[in-house]
Amino acid sequence: MRIAIASEVHAPKIDGISNRLTHTIRELSALGHEVLTIAPQPAEPVCESEQLLCVPGARFPLYPDVVVGAPDPRIVRALARFRPHVVHAVGPVAVGFWSLLAARALAIPAVASYHTELPSYASRYGYPRLEAPAWRLLRAIHALADLNLCPSRTTRDSLAARGFSISGLWRSGVDPERFHPRKRSLAMRKRLAGGRVDRPLLLYAGRLAAEKNLHSLAPVLEEMPGVQLAFVGDGPERPRLERTYQDLPVEFAGFLSGEELAAAFASADLFVMPSTTETLGFVALEAMASGLPVVAADAGGTRDVVQHEETGFLYDPAESKGALEPIRRIFGSRTLAQALARRGRAVAERNNWTHETRALVGSYEFAIQRAEHRSLRVKLRNFLEA
């Protein structure tokens, strides 16, 4: 199959979507498919077989880390030359929108996948009046696709309530060999715990941003003397977080990737995810693969990843210290912690990238069938109206 992917983010940028895309493109290539990717500059191929078209872009004002691609006639020319069986717009905003329009013009079946609650960020960053128009715009963009996917059932239900037509799921995968309990490292634990390796160690890994609700962990930590917390990652909220936690046993490890990130996960005792805006909770799956129990806010797509009292605990984020009781339960029982970790690891092993990419190819095939049926209906209507 020839697959054209349009994405607002791409390697070398590292975040949940670009990580997912990197693994997916590599798996698609390994399965024998041809891939053309359209993304804003700068972008770098993730494997030798990936064809890449970089278009000009500008930083998105509400979220400066995201580069928004400009309209570019080369998109149409590239698709016409590549002749894809399907176009996949990943998190379509600009590049995805232009590519979906081009797919319609060229009569190419199209898939769109939803990943980030960008409209809700408008309120968090001080522009609440933009939220409703942003939802309308995203709904119109997704209406251009023959098939819409999202990462979790919770997100699907939320989008359906907003008038989106979501027909399937594109779940995230994990590399269970890279993220593995055997990556545990005393040197990394010292780094994360400020040298105090004998204390219980909580870990958060991800972007340090307002929508991640990271300040909510401060009152929890105040109630647990002797417990360490490590933030792995960086972002615009880091200076405020450093002020919030300046008198608490917290280490800011900064951005880690590759084997260092795998070691960080495996070297902690428990992963905590207070965010209420996750469409999936990709890092929670990495934590489970690394043998960590997970305590997460009962919100968004994280519900699809963390099975309450099976692989971790979900808590009510409306309670100021909602994470306190489940963290105490896990730290208070080695048997419980080991059982949660064992079951989480088993879930992660089943959700590997090859399995998830094969399911995605199945969605592409379904979208192609839908497009063919739509084309036949149009031809029949035109014939009857002639």
* DSSP string computed for 72-83: -THHHHHHHHH-
DSSP 352: B
Amino acid at 270: L
The contacts of residue 297 (CB under 8 Å, 6+ apart) are 213, 273, 274, 275, 276, 314, 315, 316, 317, 322, 323
- Residue 274, classed as helix, strand or coil, is coil
How much is the pLDDT for 135?
A: 94
Task: Write down the pLDDT at residue 62.
Answer: 60
d(CA 39, CA 96): 9
CA dihedral sign of residues 236, 241, 242, 244: positive
Position 27 scores a pLDDT of: 97
Structure tokens at 262: 């795998």
Q: How far apart are CA 54 and CA 75, in angstroms?
A: 9
What does R_g of the chain's alpha carbons equal in angstroms? 22
The C-alpha atoms of residue 227 and residue 140 are separated, in whole angstroms, by 48
Q: What is the pLDDT of residue 126?
A: 77
pLDDT tens series, the chain, 386 aa = 999 999 999 999 888 889 999 999 999 999 999 999 999 998 999 999 999 999 998 887 666 667 778 889 999 999 999 999 999 999 999 999 999 999 999 999 999 999 988 888 777 777 888 899 999 999 999 999 999 999 998 899 999 999 999 889 999 899 999 999 999 999 999 999 999 999 999 999 999 999 899 999 999 999 999 999 999 999 999 999 999 999 999 999 999 999 999 999 999 999 999 999 887 778 999 999 999 999 999 998 899 899 999 999 999 999 999 999 999 999 999 999 999 999 999 999 999 999 999 999 999 999 999 999 877 776 677 767 76
Spatial distance between the Cα atoms of 247 and 350, rounded to a whole number of angstroms? 41
pLDDT tens string 288-328:
999 999 999 999 889 989 999 999 999 999 999 999 999 99
DSSP 8-state class, residue 162: T
Quick one: pLDDT at residue 378? 67
Angle ∠(375,378,383) on CA atoms, nearest 5: 125
* Distance between CA atoms of residues 248 and 227, nearest Å: 10
pLDDT for res 61 = 67
Q: Where are the alpha helices (DSSP H) in the chain?
A: 16-30, 74-82, 95-105, 118-124, 131-142, 153-161, 186-192, 218-222, 238-244, 258-267, 282-289, 302-305, 324-331, 334-350, 353-385
* SS3 state of residue 231: strand
**Distance, CA of 167 to CA of 162 (rounded, Å):** 14
